[in-house]
Amino acid sequence: MGFVSLYRKYRPVKFSDLVGQTGVVKTLKNSIRYDRIAHAYLFAGPRGTGKTSMAKVYARALNCRDDEEVEPCGVCDNCRRIESGQSMDVIEIDAASNRGIDEIRELREQVKYQPGEGGYRVYIIDEVHMLTDQAFNALLKTLEEPPDNIVFILATTEPHKVISTVLSRCQRFDFSLLTEPEIAKRLKYICSEENVEYETEALNMIAYSSNGGMRDAISILDQAISFSVGALTPEKIEDLLGKINISVLSELAASISQGSSSDSLDIIKDLQQRGRSVDRIVSDLLDYMRKIVLVLNDGYEIATSGISEARKTRLKEDSQLFSRSEAGKIMQELIELDSRLRYADRPDILLESSLIRLCENSAGIQETSSAAGIEKLQRRVDNLEKSLEKLTAGEKGEDQKVQISSRKKVENKKSYPESSETSKKETAEKSIEREKTEKKEARESPDSSAKEKISEVEPEGVDLPWQKILHEIRSHDIKTHAKLKESLPPRLEDGRLILEFPEEKEFHCNQARKEKQFISRVVNKNFDKGVEVIIRLQGESEFDGEDLDSSSANQSQEAEDSNQEPNLLKELQQRLGGEIITVSSQAVKKCQGGNNHGYEEDDAKSSADAEEDAAEAGGA
């Protein structure tokens, strides 16, 4: 006899030869033992799980002449004829090529005849879901009331395509995918029978690649025996299947963890030149990262099942390159990449861009030299200086607008000659605005006994008032609240409340800086003494450039205001005979500021009071 493929040569001939499907085997054996044989069965399940083999073994068991055993003997005439395909009582029909109503009508004529050799005539209809609707309907009556000693066994990989009226007339058995240990055990038996040397890891790789199908695994083994010279090794199986060697996957994983996009791209380019497809690269890298994630999450036994000690050691070493969150993010990125590849016109570009993104996002990214770090810091300083210049220019413009608006309001209520009285009213209005602003701050400030006290020695004391501050900020500006939620826990140092943001939250930090004036106002409402708010990125210098510049600008502006105030108040006292009152220039600036974030009502009330008092002073 010529060469026979291994999957045909080692096809099961007894129930004991069937791998897996324990529940199906037990039910069918008991049906024979207790004479409870149904007239129609439906075997459903993935390819290569033993549906057709089970049907043939069951047919042999029904017609075996050895009545004492449930298992077919394999030596009687009926068993041998069924195994060779020469039995008249076991008819196998391929529904994919005999799917019409004419073939079913012919079958209906044949079922009228009694079995000639054994006790049952068995019809095995493979891929039954391929029958047409008309053929199914023609089969219904025969399935419902078949002649005695007739058994139908329908096999399909897609039971949802079988019409419900047929399903309801059959006993259904669902075949499950086989486990890797079950497949590997069967492959070892075949290798021993064929005198083939092997490494256990090589057979485990074949079992894993078969995706739960025994026929696929045996076909790969048959191909591997022809491919290799000598013993079956993992390296030969990788070459045969086109899989990527674990050492290459280890190098690729290490380059990602180190943030080296150049090394990652070089590895990918080399693999593609060796004929590895993008799909294969992503699939194998995803599988390797899955094992790393399992190792990091106490799944070491699952990840290393069936692999050699050398590979276990390498996997354990590679898993130390990642944290749990990093490995999980990389795995999630690869899963999304794998799903997008099927729709990509240029999968190689998609793979390259994803690898670059993985390297950039890796926690192992660090500046390659101190010069690069200095350059990055210089860019940040330049951006802060530009932002400060714009902010300073905007504040000056607002001050000029306020002064012009004040002059117009006083001019509209002229009661004295314009040459001298206008300047009087302008001076009086400035003084009154300061006075009303001070009153407004007194109304806004809570009672001293209700304020939160913070110890500069114990920064953890910031937690309680900080939650209160966040709550108040959220009630006025939910966007600013969302930005501050991204910051690290605040701390108090030398009268400064330091809010630091992680480096990856640079955008939130810059946005929070724009609202620094509002944040400072809310913070100082909750403390007994003035607290300077510092907003910066984690790892920046002790004194943030923006904060120093803005602090210097505030100090210079306060000095300028303090120089102007004595002259203005002295002139006001001489002209109106009033009483000099000391006014906080910072409070005046807050009243004149831009975005008040929900404090507009108090500002409007103070402005209205100031105008009313100015009018009264003008009338006097």
Q: What's the one-letter identity of residue 116?
A: G
CATH of span 6-176: 3.40.50.300
Q: Which two tokens stand for residue 129?
A: 């879901």
pTM: 0.55
State the Cα–Cα distance between residues 41 and 155, nearest whole angstrom.
Answer: 8
Which distant-in-sequence residues (6+ apart) come within 8 Å of 228 by Cβ?
Answer: 236, 240
- Same fold flag, 6-176 and 243-365: no
- Determine the Cα angle at 610 with ends 524 and 422, to 5°: 130
Taking Cα atoms as reference points, which of 541, 556, 544, 551 lies closest to residue 517? 551
On the question of pLDDT at 354 being above 80, the answer is yes
**For the chain, domain boundaries:** 6-176, 243-365, 423-620
What would the mean pLDDT of 121-132 be, rounded to a whole number?
A: 91
Residue 426, classed as helix, strand or coil, is helix
- pLDDT 10s digits, 430-472: 555 555 554 444 444 444 433 343 333 344 444 447 888 888 8
Taking Cα atoms as reference points, which of 97, 88, 173, 163 lies closest to residue 133? 163
State the Cα–Cα distance between residues 573 and 71, nearest whole angstrom.
Answer: 120
Hey, which of 95-104, 123-132, 468-477 has the most confident mean pLDDT? 123-132
Taking Cα atoms as reference points, which of 365, 367, 337, 338 lies closest to residue 255? 365
DSSP secondary-structure letter at 111?
A: T
Residue 233, classed as helix, strand or coil, is coil
Phi and psi torsions of 495, nearest 5°:
75, 15
User: Is there a contact between 25 and 70 (Cβ–Cβ < 8 Å)?
Assistant: no
The per-residue pLDDT for 568 is 56
Confidence of residue 222 (pLDDT cuts 50, 70, 90): very high
Higher pLDDT, 392 or 500: 500
Phi and psi torsions of 415, nearest 5°:
-130, -10
The per-residue pLDDT for 247 is 86
Across the beta sheet with 90-94, the strand order is 90-94, 121-126, 150-156, 40-44, 171-174
Residue 91, classed as helix, strand or coil, is strand
Q: Which two tokens stand for residue 167?
A: 């399903």
Q: Which two tokens stand for residue 347?
A: 């999968």
DSSP secondary-structure letter at 123?
A: E
User: Is there a contact between 14 and 72 (Cβ–Cβ < 8 Å)?
Assistant: yes
On the question of pLDDT at 543 being above 60, the answer is no
Confidence of residue 426 (pLDDT cuts 50, 70, 90): low
Q: Which residue has the tokens 């033992």?
A: 33
Taking Cα atoms as reference points, which of 414, 317, 108 lies closest to residue 423? 414
Average pLDDT of the chain, as a whole number: 77
On the question of pLDDT at 602 being above 80, the answer is no
State the Cα–Cα distance between residues 274 and 266, nearest whole angstrom.
Answer: 12
The per-residue pLDDT for 613 is 52
The 3-class SS string of 513-561 reads HHCHHHHHHHHHHCECCCCEEEEEECCCCCCCHHHHHHHHHHHHHHHHH
Instruction: Give residue 547's Cα distance to chain centre.
Output: 37
Question: Strands 171-174 and 40-44, how do they pair?
Answer: parallel
State the Cα–Cα distance between residues 41 and 56, nearest whole angstrom.
Answer: 13
Poorest-pLDDT segment among 37-51, 81-95, 152-166, 521-535: 521-535
Q: Which two tokens stand for residue 442?
A: 């007194």
Q: Which residue has the tokens 């330091």?
A: 498
User: Across-strand partners of 575?
Assistant: none
Which distant-in-sequence residues (6+ apart) come within 8 Å of 253 by Cβ?
Answer: 285, 288, 289, 292, 318, 321
DSSP secondary-structure letter at 452?
A: B
Question: Which whole-number Å values give the CA distances from 402 to 83, 412, 597, 603, in the listed order?
Answer: 103, 16, 19, 14
Residue 156, classed as helix, strand or coil, is strand
Q: What's the one-letter identity of residue 79?
A: C
Question: Strands 150-156 and 40-44, how do they pair?
Answer: parallel
Enumerate the H helices of 157-277 as residue ranges.
164-167, 180-194, 200-209, 214-227, 234-241, 246-257, 261-273
Confidence of residue 606 (pLDDT cuts 50, 70, 90): very low
On the question of pLDDT at 51 being above 90, the answer is yes
What would the mean pLDDT of 152-173 be, rounded to a whole number?
A: 92
Confidence of residue 398 (pLDDT cuts 50, 70, 90): low
User: Across-strand partners of 532?
Assistant: 496
On the question of pLDDT at 545 being above 60, the answer is no
User: Across-strand partners of 498?
Assistant: 491, 534
Higher pLDDT, 104 or 172: 172
The per-residue pLDDT for 176 is 92
The percentage of the chain sitting over the pLDDT mark of 70, rounded to a whole number, equals 71
Question: Which whole-number Å values give the CA distances from 38 to 26, 91, 105, 125, in the listed order?
Answer: 15, 17, 22, 16
Q: Which two tokens stand for residue 344?
A: 């990509």
What string of DSSP letters covers 190-201? HHHHHT--B-HH
Phi and psi torsions of 266, nearest 5°:
-65, -40
Length of the chain: 620
Element (H, E) at 173: strand 171-174
| Domain 243-365 class in CATH | mainly alpha
User: Is there a contact between 61 and 15 (Cβ–Cβ < 8 Å)?
Assistant: yes
The per-residue pLDDT for 414 is 45
Confidence of residue 220 (pLDDT cuts 50, 70, 90): very high
User: Is there a contact between 219 and 227 (Cβ–Cβ < 8 Å)?
Assistant: no
Higher pLDDT, 244 or 597: 244
Q: Calculate helix-pair angle for 278-296, 324-341, nearest 10 degrees.
A: 150
The per-residue pLDDT for 567 is 56
The per-residue pLDDT for 57 is 93
Confidence of residue 118 (pLDDT cuts 50, 70, 90): confident
